[in-house]
Structure 1
Amino acid sequence: MKKRKNLGKNSIILILAVVIIFIAYLGSPLSKVRNVTVEGVNDLGAQQVIDATDINNNSLLVNVMIDHQTIANKTMKKLPSIETVSFKTHNLRDIVIKVKEFKTLGLIYKNGYYYRVINGGHIINQKMHSPIGNYPIYSGFNDKKSLKKISKIYKKLPDNVRTNVSQFYNSPTKLNPYRVKIDMNDGNKVVADIRTVQAKMKYYPGIAAQMKQKGVINLEIGAYSYPFKAKK
């Protein structure tokens, strides 16, 4: 009986000691986040992600880890181009934010702002004042179906062609309602048919290399090029 009482007394003392140590820990600088780093960002800036989480040097590490899902949901709401976000600790005082962004397939300009276009022609509702990265701008693709189609085409272009694309224009005519125009970063312009442009753009580097001056490469029917008209 005496042993049982002593055991109970020792357990209470141990629990009280743990509580006191934990309270002391929470009141010490050791309980607060020291450094925050971000992994996996592509189009977003690391500081942009940190600001969205509201984690700073005054944040308690234990609170961050307990409320990690709430913080993650809040971060993705503020930055909808983030697909997933998670947190891990490092050195018992540092936080690493791991981010996975939706793959950007281009940008669309609406009402004074640029927006990211991702898989399926989805537009991320996150305003940008200026274009980011080396992504094409889609003009005239005003419905989701056409935007999905052109962004899918862009995604499947050869690497050396895809990085050279500056802007896609939906440019239908009475003779060809499927016509598109493409501005290239090297200064040339392409006229093509949206139904065949993906297959034909692989010939672009070879045709462009044979051109003596910048001009238009027409891929609607066949493939030929001609220089820009000289301005008078």
Structure 2
Amino acid sequence: MKKRRIKVSKNSLIFLIVFIIVLIAYFGSSLSKVRNINVKGVNDLGAQQVIDATKVDDNSILLNVLLHHKSISQTAEKKLPSIQSLSFKTRNLRDLTISVKEHPTLGLIAKNGGYYRIIKNGQVINQKMNAPIGNYPIYSNFSGKRLNKMSNIYSKLPNNVQTNISEIYNAPTKLNPYRIKIDMNDGNKVVADMRTVKSKLKYYPGMAAQMKQKGVIDLEIGAYSYPFNDKK
């Protein structure tokens, strides 16, 4: 009985030594490293931007990436605040797929000779673009809480209204500090009040369809329209 125990212990030791040798050989070879990286789900971000933010490359150990995916995701999100979440999957034991979920872009703001993306809560992404991207509205003369409020209002508008908005201007007056103006892609202009614009803009498509020529739709008080050549 005693001899049998010694035999089992020797076999276990041999197995352990072989396992360690195989493990060392694996981690020392190219088989343990990431071969290809595929990025899915990017919209306004570039695939290479995401890869650079994760700091994963062809020298990264695939198992290490999978084990530390949470900290890698947190690093990438700090580098690129427009990333909402990342997930990692492996394929063929060599290839890595990074799935990206972005915070939606709520518009652009022009400053410092360039354009900057706006995401949730009016946060401006500190990444300068020389020209506008996508079909997003441009916010003019907005800042701070006012930009936050207006971008959140935009996020709740119907999609057919969102895609028709070209530029939103903060245009307060002494009589109405909440006054805004909106340039539409169809050629019309809108005058509105930030406090009521979300509920009133739903009437825009119907009102625009009834206009015989391009003009102004005034939603500041009530809701009516008039052509540009009318001096109201």
Question: What is the TM-score with the length of structure 2 in the denominator?
Answer: 0.88
Q: Deviations over 1:170-215 (max 9, x none)?
A: 1012232221100111121111122222222112112222223322
1:72 partner SS: helix
**Cα offset, 1:163, TM superposition:** 1.1
In the other structure, the counterpart of 2:180 is: 180
**Cα offset, 1:62, TM superposition:** 2.1
| Amino acid of the structure 2 residue aligned with 1:124 | I
Change (3 A) 1:129 1:78: farther
Q: Deviations over 1:112-168 (max 9, x none)?
A: 343332232233344433322222121122222x12221222122222111111111
**Cα offset, 1:13, TM superposition:** 0.9
Q: In 1, distance between residues paired with 2:126 and 2:83?
A: 11
Q: In 2, distance between residues paired with 1:171 and 1:40?
A: 37
| Amino acid of the structure 1 residue aligned with 2:203 | Y
- Of 98-107 and 110-119, deviating more is 110-119
1:132 partner SS: coil
1:217 aligns to 2:217 (yes or no): yes
| Amino acid of the structure 2 residue aligned with 1:212 | K
1:138 partner SS: strand
Unaligned runs of 5+ in 2: none
In the other structure, the counterpart of 1:162 is: 162
The residue correspondences of 1:52-91 to structure 2 (distance < 5 A) are 52-91=53-92
The residue correspondences of 1:21-170 to structure 2 (distance < 5 A) are 21-144=22-145, 146-170=146-170
Contact 2:122–2:144 (CA under 8 A) maintained in structure 1 = no
Q: In 2, distance between residues paired with 1:57 and 1:224?
A: 61
Q: In 2, distance between residues paired with 1:225 and 1:116?
A: 32
Question: What is the TM-score with the length of structure 1 in the denominator?
Answer: 0.88
Q: In 1, distance between residues paired with 2:29 and 2:198?
A: 61
1:187 partner SS: coil
| Amino acid of the structure 1 residue aligned with 2:227 | P
Contact 1:103–1:118 (CA under 8 A) maintained in structure 2 = yes
Identical positions, percent: 66
Q: In 1, distance between residues paired with 2:110 and 2:170?
A: 14
**Cα offset, 1:29, TM superposition:** 3.1
Unaligned runs of 5+ in 1: none
1:123 partner SS: coil
| Amino acid of the structure 2 residue aligned with 1:204 | Y
Q: In 1, distance between residues paired with 2:101 and 2:163?
A: 22
Q: In 1, distance between residues paired with 2:196 and 2:72?
A: 46
1:87 partner SS: strand
In the other structure, the counterpart of 2:21 is: 20
Contact 1:79–1:126 (CA under 8 A) maintained in structure 2 = no
**Cα offset, 1:17, TM superposition:** 0.7
What is the RMSD of the two structures over their aligned residues, measured on CA atoms?
2.1
Contact 1:81–1:126 (CA under 8 A) maintained in structure 2 = no
